[in-house]
Every structure is written in structure tokens, then in C-alpha cells.
Structure 1
Amino acid sequence: MRILLLGGSVFLGRAFAVEALARGHRVTTFNRGRSAPDLPGVEAVRGDRTSDADLAALVSGRSWDLVVDTSGQQPHAVAASARALREHAGRYLFVSSVHAFADWPTEPVDETSPLHPCPADAPGDLPPSNANKAGCERAVLAAFGPERTIVLNCGLLIGPYENVGRLLWWLERIARGGRVLAPGRPDLPLQLIDAADFAAFGLHLAEQERHGSYLTTAPPGSSTFGGMLEACRTVTGSDAELVWVDDRHLTAAGVQEWTELPLWANEFVDGKPIGLWQADSLRAHAAGLRCRPIEQSVRATWEWIGRRGPRAEPYLQGSLPLGIEPARERAILESVDAGVEFGPTVGEA
């Protein structure tokens, strides 16, 4: 196949490029050339997807069997690229998110769950939000139609070249050793998917000329928080002691969900368990999705960190730094040691 990657140099886009080249496909990347180098073997076209002139130059004299869009965040930009490409490409694979579902993370979701009510023609100054991906999906469908569109509602990605840093922070924190604040409970189920497995599935669907929406993440309960942290301890050779602190202590201490302790969020809202790690990916697995054990992803990521070397700047989720400050971590652990009580367990009557 001739494949156009909108992006193609960072994390998931890079994973698509690696997998596509390994399968013998011809790959073109379209990006501004600012984030990371393109892989050897691709045709790299420089341009900005928000520029009509750049899109016109991209499609001039070119056509592809498949567009893979890993970088679309704003509906207006996705609509512009889809319109420019609809006469120059056979299919459009859009990487959406589980965030596009209106009920997530409060309730379990699947492909039939309602999307956020974001229109395909949402304005260009739309603030970043979970609803944006829903509008992006609608923009692709409007241009390419359902028979030529693949939508992958992405779960939480891990693996080498991660550009957010959730797993990276945990690996580096555990490598430093000592007493490590482990959030929640060790048997909390997780749904994490390696970017390489995600890319392989997307290309498999295109090769099979499939279409439709697929909630693309690991099966519920395929890993646990404890299993992930133990894998981090194993691959780093650390003597770290994991000290598990339950949600009530963390919430009472004001720990910020997702950022201070990456991947952690309170299991309960208003006393009810939420569907954070209960996305139904059965359709994707029936269509050929295969997810490697989390231990393999953790090891490969640690090996990549070793090749990358130390990182001076903090990891960021949006504009927020990831990771709890050492002094704050120690203070919370000391409060647990002292038997500080924070009230009834979250979720109890």
C-alpha cells in the first residue's frame, strides 16, 4: 500500500511508520519537521495541516491507498485535511480517543456509546477538550463516508518513544529506589496498550479493507497497577519498596489525579465506582488486535530510556508537570506511618 501519515515522527505516528515500512508499504509523512526526525525510508513532505496551500502542495501529483491521521486534534483542521485528501486517498484511518465518548470515564463504554456533541465544523479557536475528538471523527466521516473510514478510539498508550511520560516517570522514580508511594491498590485493573500493537492493528484493518469504529485498547484486567510497578522494579533492578496508599489518603492529601501520580485516579465518584478501566475492546480483539504482556512493554521502554539518556526537563501532560515532588511524597508516607485517619473509605456508605 501507499500510505500517508499525517505526523509520522513522534510516538504513535512513529510506530505506524516503523510497522508500515516493516510490512513493505510505501510511506509518505506530512509534518512541520519540528518534533522529531522522520524515519529513513519514508518520503518526508514538510507542511502545516492548517495551511490550505501546504495541503494543496501535498496532494499535487500524489495519491495514496490509506491516510493515517495520528495528529488530528481540532475538528476544523481534520475537516480541512480530509476534504483535501478525499480525492487522493482510498481510506482514512483516524486515531480518536476513548475521551470522545460522553460517558467515559464515569461509565463503561463501547463503540455504540454516545459521543460528545462536538460538530464536525467546530471553529478553529475551539479550546482543547475531550469533546474535540468526537468532532474530528464526524469531520472524517463527512468527507470520506462510512465505507472509507476507520476510527480507532485509542486507550492509554505506552511503549518506547512515549511523548507524555506516564510510564517513563514511574520507571525513573522506581529506579531511584527507596520508599515509593504506590497509589490505590495493587490489584487495580489497568488497560494499557503498546503503541506498536496499536499501529499493527490499524494497518491490519486497512490491509483487510475493513471500516468502522474500534475501541482499541487492552482487555479489561489484562494488567494491574501492582503488576506494572513490579515490572518496573524488575527491569530497573531497583531495591524500591512499594508502599500502597489508598484513595482516601491520596484524595484527602490533595494529590492531583493523573499528574502527581501518573495513571492514578480515584476509583469512586460520589461513592460509586467509575468505568475508567472498563472500556469494552472485544470488537477490536475479534478483528485481530493483539496486545503484548505489559512486562514486555515496560522492558522495551526501559531499554529505550537507556539509549535516550537522562532527560533534564520534566514530563508534561498538557501544561502540567508529571510526578510528585520528593518532599511531598515523603510527607504523605510519613502521615500513613503515623496512622493519620482521613475519614471513611471512599465508596463506603
Structure 2
Amino acid sequence: MRLLMLGGTEFVGRAITEGALARGWDVTVFHRGRHEPPQGVVSLHGDRTAEGGLKALEDGEWDAVVDTWSGAPFVVRNAARLLDGRVTRYAYISSRSVYRYPEPSGRGEEAEVVDGSPDDGDVDYAAAKRGGELAALDVYGDNALLVRAGLILGPYENIGRLPWWLTRMARGGDVLAPGPRDAGLQYIDVRDLATWTLDAVEHGLGGPYDLVSPPDHTTMEELLQACADVTGSRANLVWTAPEAILEAGIEPWTDLPVWLPPGEAYDTLHRGNVAKALSAGLRCRPVQETVADTWAWLRSIGGTAPQRPDRPVVGLPPEKEHEVLGSR
């Protein structure tokens, strides 16, 4: 297979690129040149947001393109139009955020989506991803694959969620652990996302697929215990009721990454129906493997994870954690 990767140097794009190389595919990576792509690819440079930024893609043919763009939808539109007739399939890495909130229980890909346009400029994340989907669909129709990812964890993470928990556990001491401890979690290891996406491209799948683990793939306790175990620290998990955490002014998802208290947001993020992706071959590795490999990667780069400039820094300040634990 000849794959064109739009991006391919960070997190999701890098995992997909490495997965394609491992299969012996010919991979071309189009990127801005800020980070080195994996060895073995053909590297093309350009800024998709700039006038003439796609010039390096004016020639060439590929079997498929994978696009991870998260910004203005017109950028996806321009790429899809330029590649029309020279690329057979267009896989767009979208998000479950395209569904109207709160997502009805059990609806899966049939749930109602937000409004969006392929011609949009800067819009919010959900509208941007929906606009990107429409841009791919407008040009590629049934040959457009929409990978609606949920929470993504694993090596190369540049959002900071799992790296923060690992770093916190490595410090040891009493750790504020948000309950309920048996709350089920849905996420997708970035490498499992890559494997499924490449399989889907190879098999000619099209249309939307929600890509995240089944509900209860792991629990909050299993995730945090795996972080404590792999770092070899003497962290003491102090399980705390959701009500106490919220009363202290701690923000779910951002101050305490991955965690959400029971309610609509939790049900939307961690109780999704992924039957379609499972029937199409999705397999999810154990949480202990995701955690261990992320810790190994984090240590290999000096312990500080990269941070996407367009995403907020996550994690609970130590003084706030100390304050809450001290009030128990």
C-alpha cells in the first residue's frame, strides 16, 4: 500500500505512520518540518494553512491518505480537493465530540451530530471535526472513512493526561484518587487506533466508526494502580468521593485527567456504544500495557512529555491537592 500521511510526526499521526511502516507500506509524510518523522518515510514539507502550502502535494498518487487535522475545516477541504483522482481513499481522524451533547445512550454512530461546514474557518473543536468530516465526504463519498476517536492514551501523548498521572505517581506520597474507584473507563490506545485504521483502509471501509474501547475496559482504580505499579513509587491512593472533589473546586477532566464524576458527561465519554468498530475488528490491549509503554517512552525522553500549544495544560497543582487531602 502507498500511504500519504498528513501529519505523521506526533501522537496519533506518528503511531499510524509507524504502524504502516511496520507493515512494509510505502509512506509519504507531509508535515511542517517542526518535528522529525519516523525513519523510512518520504518527507514532504508544507504549511496547510498558508497560501500555496500544499504545493508539495501537487504531484503523486497514493492508495490512501490519513488526515488528523483538528483545526479549520477548509484545510481538510483544500487537501481533499487537491488529492481527488490521485488518492483512492480518504481516512479522516475525527472525534466522538461531533455528537450533540449529551449523546443518547446506546445510539453509537446513529446519534445526532453538531452542525458544521467544510468551508468553515476557526470554529470550536466539535464543529471543526464535523466540518472536516463533511470536507472528506464531499469529495470522497463512500470512500471516506471517518474515525471518531474517543479518549486517546499511549506513547507520544502530547495532551498530558496519562503522562501527568504517571509523573504524579512517581513523586509518591498521598495521591488524591477520584472516586468511584470502580467507575468504568473508555479510551483507545493510540497504537490500537492506528492498527484498526490501517486495517480499515486496507479493507476499504467507509463511513463513520466510533473508535474507543468497550465500556468498562478498565476502571479508575485499575488505571491509577497501574500507574503506581509501573513507576515503582510508594504512592498511597487516597480515594475521595466525587462530591468532595467538586466541592473543593477541582475541575474534572482537566485538573484530574481522564476522570469524570457520575452524570451526563461521564455517560457520554465512558458509556459509548462501540459495537460497530468491534464487529469491524477493533481489539484493545490491557490498560497495564498502555501504562507501562507510556512510562517507558516518557522516561526515554527525559520525563517531560511534549505539550500541544493549542491544548490547555492539565493536572492538579500540588498545593491544591495538599489542601484537599489535608481537609479530610
TM-score bracket for the superposition, by shorter chain length: over 0.9
SS of corresponding position for 1:68: strand
Alpha-carbon offset, residue 216 of structure 1: 0.5
The separation in 1 between residues aligned to 2:10 and 2:229, in whole angstroms, is 27
> Does the Cα contact within 8 Å between 1:96 and 1:152 map onto a contact in 2?
yes
> Does the Cα contact within 8 Å between 2:108 and 2:210 map onto a contact in 1?
yes
SS of corresponding position for 2:268: coil
Partner residue, 2:53: 54
More moved, 222-231 vs 322-331? 322-331
The separation in 1 between residues aligned to 2:102 and 2:186, in whole angstroms, is 14
The separation in 1 between residues aligned to 2:93 and 2:307, in whole angstroms, is 23
Alignment of 1:1-349 (within 5 A): 1-34=1-34, 36-60=35-59, 62-104=60-102, 107=105, 109-122=107-120, 124=121, 126-145=122-141, 147-268=142-263, 274-311=267-304, 318-335=310-327, 337=328
More moved, 324-333 vs 257-266? 257-266
The separation in 2 between residues aligned to 1:134 and 1:266, in whole angstroms, is 27
Structure 1 residues 139 and 301: alpha-carbon distance in aligned structure 2, compared to 1, 3 A threshold: same
Alpha-carbon offset, residue 314 of structure 1: 8.6
> Does the Cα contact within 8 Å between 2:159 and 2:313 map onto a contact in 1?
no
> Does the Cα contact within 8 Å between 1:316 and 1:322 map onto a contact in 2?
no
Alpha-carbon offset, residue 273 of structure 1: 6.8
Q: Deviations over 1:35-91 (max 9, x none)?
A: x2111100000001224523243132x010000001243211111111111121000
Q: Deviations over 1:175-212 (max 9, x none)?
A: 11100001121101101111111011001011111212
Q: Which has the larger radius of gyration?
A: 1
> Does the Cα contact within 8 Å between 1:103 and 1:113 map onto a contact in 2?
no
One-letter amino acid of the structure 1 residue matched with residue 299 of structure 2: G
Structure 1 residues 169 and 45: alpha-carbon distance in aligned structure 2, compared to 1, 3 A threshold: same
The separation in 2 between residues aligned to 1:128 and 1:255, in whole angstroms, is 24
The separation in 1 between residues aligned to 2:309 and 2:46, in whole angstroms, is 26
The separation in 2 between residues aligned to 1:273 and 1:19, in whole angstroms, is 31
SS of corresponding position for 1:276: helix
One-letter amino acid of the structure 1 residue matched with residue 39 of structure 2: P
One-letter amino acid of the structure 1 residue matched with residue 313 of structure 2: P
More moved, 14-23 vs 69-78? 69-78
The separation in 2 between residues aligned to 1:248 and 1:316, in whole angstroms, is 31
Structure 1 stretches lacking a partner, 5+ long: 338-349
Identity of aligned residues (%): 40
> Does the Cα contact within 8 Å between 1:186 and 1:225 map onto a contact in 2?
yes
Alpha-carbon offset, residue 156 of structure 1: 0.8
Alpha-carbon offset, residue 319 of structure 1: 4.7
One-letter amino acid of the structure 2 residue matched with residue 135 of structure 1: G
> Does the Cα contact within 8 Å between 2:253 and 2:259 map onto a contact in 1?
yes
Alpha-carbon offset, residue 266 of structure 1: 2.5
More moved, 14-23 vs 256-265? 256-265
> Does the Cα contact within 8 Å between 1:5 and 1:27 map onto a contact in 2?
yes
> Does the Cα contact within 8 Å between 2:46 and 2:55 map onto a contact in 1?
no
SS of corresponding position for 1:130: helix
What TM-score does the superposition give when structure 1 sets the normalisation length?
A: 0.89
Number of equivalenced pairs: 328
Alpha-carbon offset, residue 242 of structure 1: 0.4
The separation in 1 between residues aligned to 2:231 and 2:309, in whole angstroms, is 24
Alpha-carbon offset, residue 128 of structure 1: 3.1
The separation in 2 between residues aligned to 1:314 and 1:94, in whole angstroms, is 23
Structure 2 stretches lacking a partner, 5+ long: none
> Does the Cα contact within 8 Å between 1:159 and 1:300 map onto a contact in 2?
yes
